[in-house]
Structure 1
Amino acid sequence: MKEIDMKLLKEESNRCFVCKNAKCKNHCPIDTPIPQIMELFREDKIDEAAEILFNNNPLSAICGIICPHEDQCLGNCIKRIKGEPIKFHELETIVSSEYLKNASFKQDKVLDDRIAIIGSGPAGIAIAFVLAKKGYKITIFEKNAEIGGVLRYGIPEFRLSREILDNMEKRLLDLNVKIKYNSLVGPVTTIDRLLEDSYSAVFIGTGVWNPKTLNIKGETLGHVHYAINYLKSPKSFRLGEKVVVVGAGNVAMDAARSAKHYGAKEVTVVYRKDFEDMTATKIEIEDAKKEGVEFDLFKAPVKIVEEGIVFIDTKKVENEDGSNKLINIENSEKLMEADSVIIAVSQSPKNNIVSNTKNLETNRHGLLLIDDIGHTTKTGVFASGDVVTGARTVVEAVANAKDVAKSIDEYCIELKNKKNCI
Structure 2
Amino acid sequence: MLNNLIEANKCLICKNARCQKNCPIDTPIPQIISLYKEGKYEEAGKILFENNPLSSICAIVCPHENQCRGFCIKGIKGEPVHFHDIEYEISTKYLENVKLQKPKQNGVKVAIVGSGPAGITVALNLALRGYSVTIFEKNEKIGGVLNYGIPSFRLPRFNIDLLEKRLKELGVKIKINSLIGPVITLNKLLEDGYKSIFIGTGVWNPRRLDIKGETFGHVHYAIDYLKSPNRYDLGNKVIVIGAGNVAMDAARTAKHFGSNEVYVAYRRGFEDMTATKHEVSEAKEEGVLFDLFKSPVEIVDEGIILEDTKKVLNENGSYSLVSLTDSRKLYECDSILVAISQLPKNTIVINNKGLDVKNGGLLLTDEFGQTTREGIYACGDVTNGAKTVIQAVVDGKKVCESMDKYLKQFII
Q: TM-score range by the shorter chain?
A: over 0.9
Match of 2:31 in 1: 36
Q: Runs of 5+ in structure 2 lacking a partner? A: none
Match of 1:129 in 2: 124
In 2, the alpha carbon distance for the partners of 1:145 and 1:52 equals 31
In 1, the alpha carbon distance for the partners of 2:32 and 2:89 equals 13
1:25 to 17, 20, 24: 20
1:310 to 305, 308, 315: 305
1:67 to 62, 70, 73: 62
In 2, the alpha carbon distance for the partners of 1:293 and 1:92 equals 29
Deviation, 1:99, is 1.3
- Map Cα deviations across residues 114-162 of structure 1 (whole Å, 9 max, x no partner): 1100000000001111111111100000000011100000000000001
Deviation, 1:93, is 0.8
Match of 2:231 in 1: 236
Deviation, 1:370, is 0.4
Secondary structure, counterpart of 1:330 in structure 2: strand
Deviation, 1:89, is 0.4
Correspondence 1:32-181 to 2 at 5 A: 32-181=27-176
- Map Cα deviations across residues 168-209 of structure 1 (whole Å, 9 max, x no partner): 110100000000000000011111111111111000000000
Correspondence 1:256-267 to 2 at 5 A: 256-267=251-262
Secondary structure, counterpart of 1:86 in structure 2: coil
Match of 2:324 in 1: 329
Match of 2:279 in 1: 284
The residue type paired with residue 79 of structure 1 is: K
- Map Cα deviations across residues 245-291 of structure 1 (whole Å, 9 max, x no partner): 00000000000000000000100000000000000000100000000
In 2, the alpha carbon distance for the partners of 1:16 and 1:414 equals 47
Deviation, 1:415, is 4.6
Deviation, 1:10, is 2.7
In 2, the alpha carbon distance for the partners of 1:384 and 1:274 equals 32
Deviation, 1:414, is 3.4
The 8 Å contact of residues 9 and 41 in structure 1, kept in 2 or not, is answered as no
Match of 2:269 in 1: 274
The 8 Å contact of residues 302 and 310 in structure 1, kept in 2 or not, is answered as yes
Secondary structure, counterpart of 2:361 in structure 1: coil
Secondary structure, counterpart of 1:329 in structure 2: strand
In 1, the alpha carbon distance for the partners of 2:272 and 2:148 equals 26
- Map Cα deviations across residues 310-358 of structure 1 (whole Å, 9 max, x no partner): 0010000011111100001131100000100000000000011011111
| Paired-residue identity, % | 58
Secondary structure, counterpart of 2:182 in structure 1: coil
The residue type paired with residue 191 of structure 1 is: L
In 1, the alpha carbon distance for the partners of 2:360 and 2:297 equals 24
Match of 1:414 in 2: 409
The 8 Å contact of residues 126 and 400 in structure 2, kept in 1 or not, is answered as yes
In 2, the alpha carbon distance for the partners of 1:67 and 1:244 equals 26
In 2, the alpha carbon distance for the partners of 1:69 and 1:10 equals 19
Match of 2:359 in 1: 364
In 1, the alpha carbon distance for the partners of 2:332 and 2:61 equals 32
In 2, the alpha carbon distance for the partners of 1:208 and 1:297 equals 27
Q: Does 1:198 align with 2:193?
A: yes
The residue type paired with residue 148 of structure 1 is: G
Deviates most, 355-364 or 287-296: 355-364
2:213 to 204, 210, 218: 218
Q: Does 1:296 align with 2:273?
A: no
Equivalenced residue count is: 412
Instruction: Give me the TM-score of the superposition, normalised by structure 2.
Output: 0.99
Match of 1:319 in 2: 314
Deviation, 1:109, is 1.3
The 8 Å contact of residues 107 and 134 in structure 1, kept in 2 or not, is answered as no
The 8 Å contact of residues 113 and 136 in structure 1, kept in 2 or not, is answered as yes
Deviation, 1:103, is 1.4
Secondary structure, counterpart of 2:325 in structure 1: coil
In 2, the alpha carbon distance for the partners of 1:398 and 1:52 equals 15
Secondary structure, counterpart of 2:295 in structure 1: strand
The 8 Å contact of residues 300 and 312 in structure 1, kept in 2 or not, is answered as yes
The residue type paired with residue 236 of structure 1 is: R
